Structure 1
Amino acid sequence: MTTPYQAPTAPWPDGAGPGGYTSPIPVTPTGLGNALRSEWTKIRTVRSTMWTLGVLLVLVIGIGLLVAGVMSGTSDLSPQPALSAGFFGVLLGSLCVITLGVLVVTSEYGTGMMRTTLTACPSRSRMLTAKALVFCAVAFVTTTVAAAVVALADSALLTGGNGAGAVPAPPMCATPGAQQVSCGHGQALGGMLAPTTDQWLRATVGIGLYVALLGLLSLAVGTMLRHSAGAITTMLGLVLLPLILALFMAGNSLEPVRNALIEYCVPNGIATLYDNAFMSTGPQGWDPLWILLAVTAVALGGAYAVLDKRDV
């Protein structure tokens, strides 16, 4: 005859009862540092990051050197900033950063990984802040290094190695008639203009910050739309559509709109940082960077607001 089971009445070992159990695993409060380490692990271990950043480096450095090589072999070019040869590579490379910025968020929604992320980090604002900081740092460092390599090569190929120490002489700035006029920022050497210190900073650090902000804007748009294809299409439209529309606006009545679209489009912002703006009017110097910073701040504010109100 079996004896019926009786629950133990003696206290649990070490005085730990059902209501006073102490886990041997140390429990520590989490913060932004933990979220940063988590996002860094995710962004460096997925293949999309390596592919997009690899293509970015190929486009920025490869096209930049190719354009500089072509310009160095052409003797009938009008004087222009030597570092502007990096414009085409950066413009195409920025599309890679835009794509990666969107995928940093939307890929987790697509795979359902966002549920796990928010379970591990219930604070949604902390999660988005960590994503933004890690991605912005990666995009800035990668773009700045690539732009610096191209800038050094362009300076060596197009100005014979003369750099920021050259004595300033009138460089060329674009006018509405596509002619070049003197405005005093560099030294003409062999048809090109030796860069000044400010031009060096804008062509390296400035370009890195501008492209990183474009990626951060893409991250904000991806957070609000939560759809990879839709967010990427939206960002490509914001980057390319204003200039395309301006090219098809003929007639004097549309001239103010056409000029505004050209002056404030992203390609002209990049060209302005290279001191080779499409038009003599509009933002100059570091202005495109501050404009994009304001737009990105507004978009990030919207992303934080939407993220807190939506379900996963």
Structure 2
Amino acid sequence: MTTPYQQQPQAPAAPQGPPQGHPPVPPPAAQPGPGPQPGPPSGQPGHPGQQPAQQVPPQAPPQGAPFGGFAGGPGYVSPIPVRRTHLGHALAAEWTKIRTVRSTVWTLSIMALLVFGIGFLVTSFTSGSDYRGTSPVTNGLFGLMLGQICVITLGVLVVTSEYGTGLIRTTFTAAPQRHRVLLAKAMVFITVSFTVTTAVCALTALLASGVHSGPEVAEATGEQWAGVTVGAGLYVSLLGLLSLAIGSLLRHSAGAITAMLGLVLLPTIVAPLLMISESMKPLAETMMDYNAVNSLMTIHQVSAGEDGTKQLLVLAGVTLSALIAALAVQDQRDV
């Protein structure tokens, strides 16, 4: 039995805490002031239980990528062997171009068709009596008068077609030495044009000499054979090389072809008109002797003392001068 004065035992009070469902809010961190902040002692962690950060050594970039993993820098090692370029590489590139474009096939095919076709017609419509004291091996030169225009056109297009399509930028990027590119073009072109022209002229001469034979037909000498084959092919190839140099200087297909046609055909047209004046007669005779049409017809006349050597030398000098000028200008101008 208890008395009123006896105290009843009280239950312990539950600790007060934040309301259920709400996480405790941490006290705001002290903002750093403008001055230097005190830190933990050297070698001690900043907070109890926190381990100091380990120093990770920097990773070296992989071999061949010196700029943070990006390849292509000074230390880049290409898996493809790098060799110093030379003229042989430019020759190989130009040979690939000239044998794969359509202009080469079309121009040389038309030239061969003109030379052989006109030579065949002349041989078919003539007889042995028409060649008294002469040789029929010259029949191929009649078609070559027109066929040389095809070679001139090809010489211009070898250079100007790349300027017209914009491929010349890629060419000069791959081969920064521009004079080497032009020299390779010239070497490849004159080799191709000389080979094809000489072969077609030789085939036409063989056809004519085989059809017309007899006592009334004069036998062609070795010098005449060389004149109508090698000499004619060399003369036309030099004209094409001159066209290549003019095309490199003008860098325009239509302008270069027009200039070369004027150079080839204008002396033949103007020379007879100048013969009327006595004062202009020496100039007219010189133009008649050295124009392209007359040079082709006199390139085989060894017996008359006019074997075309002077015409070949003059054309070679003009072509060489134009090619040197084109090589000198090539490195000084932009694309």
Query: So what's the TM-score if we normalise by structure 2?
Result: 0.76
Unmatched runs of 5 consecutive residues or more in structure 2: 1-55, 68-72
Cα offsets for 1:160-190 (capped at 9, x unmatched): 4xxxxxxxxxxxxxxxxxxxxxxxxxxxx42
1:294 maps to amino acid: G
Residue 154 of structure 1 deviates from its aligned partner by 1.4
Name 1:264's counterpart in structure 2. 290
Q: Is the 8 A contact 2:300 2:307 kept in 1?
A: no
Residue in structure 1 matching 2:222, options 197, 205, 221: 197
Q: How many angstroms apart in 2 are the aligned matches of 1:15 and 1:108? A: 36
Q: How many angstroms apart in 1 are the aligned matches of 2:138 and 2:274? A: 27
Name 1:297's counterpart in structure 2. 320
| Structure 1 segments (4+ residues) deviating >4 Å | none
- Secondary structure of 2:331's counterpart equals helix
Matched, 1:36 2:62: no
Q: How many angstroms apart in 1 are the aligned matches of 2:57 and 2:115? A: 72
Moved more, 16-25 or 133-142: 16-25
Q: What aligned pairs does 1:192-271 form with structure 2 within 5 A after superposition?
A: 192-251=217-276, 253=278, 254-271=280-297
Residues 15 and 101 of structure 1, relative CA distance in 2, 3 Å threshold: closer
Residue 250 of structure 1 deviates from its aligned partner by 4.2
RMSD: 2.2
Q: What aligned pairs does 1:49-198 form with structure 2 within 5 A after superposition?
A: 49-72=104-127, 75=129, 79-160=133-214, 189-190=215-216, 192-198=217-223
- Secondary structure of 1:193's counterpart equals coil
- Secondary structure of 1:23's counterpart equals coil
Matched, 1:12 2:61: yes
Q: How many angstroms apart in 1 are the aligned matches of 2:240 and 2:202? A: 19
Q: How many angstroms apart in 1 are the aligned matches of 2:57 and 2:184? A: 49
Cα offsets for 1:34-56 (capped at 9, x unmatched): 00010011111111111111101
Residues 246 and 9 of structure 1, relative CA distance in 2, 3 Å threshold: same
Unmatched runs of 5 consecutive residues or more in structure 1: 1-6, 161-188
Residues 61 and 252 of structure 1, relative CA distance in 2, 3 Å threshold: same
Residue 248 of structure 1 deviates from its aligned partner by 2.5
Name 2:3's counterpart in structure 1. none
Q: How many angstroms apart in 1 are the aligned matches of 2:200 and 2:77? A: 53
Residues 135 and 8 of structure 1, relative CA distance in 2, 3 Å threshold: farther
Residues 252 and 80 of structure 1, relative CA distance in 2, 3 Å threshold: farther
Comparing both structures, which one devotes a greater share of its residues to helix? Answer: 1
Residues 243 and 83 of structure 1, relative CA distance in 2, 3 Å threshold: same
Q: Which has the higher contact order (CA 8 A, sep 6+)?
A: 1
Name 1:186's counterpart in structure 2. none
Larger radius of gyration: 2
Q: How many angstroms apart in 1 are the aligned matches of 2:234 and 2:259? A: 21
Q: How many angstroms apart in 1 are the aligned matches of 2:83 and 2:222? A: 48
Q: How many angstroms apart in 2 are the aligned matches of 1:214 and 1:51? A: 18
Cα offsets for 1:186-222 (capped at 9, x unmatched): xxx42x4321001111111111111111110000000
Q: How many angstroms apart in 2 are the aligned matches of 1:276 and 1:68? A: 22
Q: How many angstroms apart in 1 are the aligned matches of 2:122 and 2:287? A: 26
Q: Is the 8 A contact 2:295 2:308 kept in 1?
A: no
Q: How many angstroms apart in 2 are the aligned matches of 1:40 and 1:66? A: 34
Q: How many angstroms apart in 2 are the aligned matches of 1:116 and 1:145? A: 34
Residue 107 of structure 1 deviates from its aligned partner by 0.7
Matched, 1:306 2:329: yes
Q: Is the 8 A contact 2:94 2:185 kept in 1?
A: yes
Residue 8 of structure 1 deviates from its aligned partner by 9.4
Percent of paired sites with the same residue: 52
Q: Is the 8 A contact 1:80 1:276 kept in 2?
A: no
Q: Is the 8 A contact 1:272 1:288 kept in 2?
A: no
Residues 306 and 205 of structure 1, relative CA distance in 2, 3 Å threshold: same
Name 1:273's counterpart in structure 2. 299
Q: How many angstroms apart in 1 are the aligned matches of 2:187 and 2:267? A: 29
Q: How many angstroms apart in 2 are the aligned matches of 1:55 and 1:24? A: 46
Q: How many angstroms apart in 2 are the aligned matches of 1:120 and 1:301? A: 23
Query: So what's the TM-score if we normalise by structure 1?
Result: 0.82
Q: How many angstroms apart in 1 are the aligned matches of 2:126 and 2:134? A: 11
